[in-house]
Homo-oligomer: A and B are copies of this chain.
């Protein structure tokens, strides 16, 4: 069934396989009269683009976005915005072996169970390449949210190594290829990833996204809780296996008196929260505090080390994946996670507008 769209009022639909001629996304529901051009979108795609460091796949894609509709004389018109990205660096020969074998940890087996067919070239639709479309949609979502809402992400753990938060520096994040908010940790982790890569294996990571400037009142109280929408959005990113808001799993260990985010009257009438254990969400609705989201990415499934598997005929065999792959797929999840948070918030903002004003 149809399952390639995300969002309700601000909704995008992605299409395209890793080794087809192109991939793309249609953003539907973007309000009119927002200034928009390709240069608003390209920088976010550049941030996600592979081939920029030894720590991401060596596939070399320009990832140039083209806007095909929905913009007139530099402004959105309220009609669907179609964006297209050409695939240019497809080396099909790299992928010939996987045609007949199921790679452990990949979607190969489950696609066959579901559809009875799969486009095995580069992982087809299950390739992380699809996330470029999310990043393009997220760039438009940021325009819908306006400049007061700032959404930033960073890698806070690589393998077992947790980045020290005391030295957190947002300005460092874009200075190192691992999106680490700490220069020293970045150097250490680059070295660590080199070792992982040389060992023919991969590691997982944890990413943290902070959204500031989010107005209070976004999210619905029961089944479209802001937490639930974020849980859905983050878990829809390839290889993500866990999500938490605010203190998340650590909340379980706390007592109610410690966890309570007490409130005081603020200088401008808006209340001030003394802490933010809840990560900016109470009862499924935003409080106006920073939104704090963390998600875990499993280690890249494509590794050089040989692993046991079966082939499409059901025979035992072994496989090692020789293609170009990220030693840590979690790194490129940073711009993707940011984009998905932006899309969730843009959608909820439009939904919240429908509540306001009188009939």
Contacts and interface: CB of A to CB of B under 8 A. Distances in A.
B110 A286 contact: yes
B1 A82 contact: no
A233 B5 CA distance: 18
A182 to B, nearest CB: 17
A258 to B, nearest CB: 8
A306 B305 CA distance: 57
Contacts of A331: none
Contacts of A274: 308
Interface in A1-52: 1-11, 13-17, 20-24, 26, 28-29, 31-34
Contact of A251 (B29, B204, B253, B256): B204
A189 interface: no
A231 B248 CA distance: 13
Contacts of A146: 358-359
A332 interface: no
B222 A130 contact: yes
B7 A80 contact: no
B232 A196 contact: no
Contact of A241 (B278, B309, B310): B278
B1 A9 contact: yes
B252 A157 contact: yes
Nearest to A218: B114
A187 to B, nearest CB: 20
A22 B24 CA distance: 14
A222 B77 CA distance: 14
Given A104-B260, A111-B283, A113-B217, 10 more contacts: A1-B10, A2-B9, A33-B115, A102-B271, A241-B247, A242-B249, A257-B307, A263-B308, A264-B308, A264-B310
A6 B130 CA distance: 23
Given A78-B117, A115-B32, A159 B252 contact: yes
A233 to B, nearest CB: 8
A287 B157 CA distance: 28
A15 B230 CA distance: 23
Instruction: Enumerate the 7 nearest inter-chain pairs by beta-carbon distance, A residue then B residue, closest first.
Output: A107-B283, A242-B244, A3-B220, A2-B29, A202-B256, A231-B235, A110-B285
A79 interface: yes
B232 A229 contact: yes
Interface stretch (A57-65, A66-74, A88-96, A171-179): A66-74
B13 A26 contact: yes
B256 A20 contact: no
Interface string A274-308: 10011101111111100000001111111101011
B119 A77 contact: yes
15 contacts: A2-B7, A15-B69, A15-B79, A22-B69, A32-B116, A79-B125, A109-B271, A236-B284, A238-B283, A243-B243, A244-B249, A256-B305, A262-B307, A263-B309, A349-B359
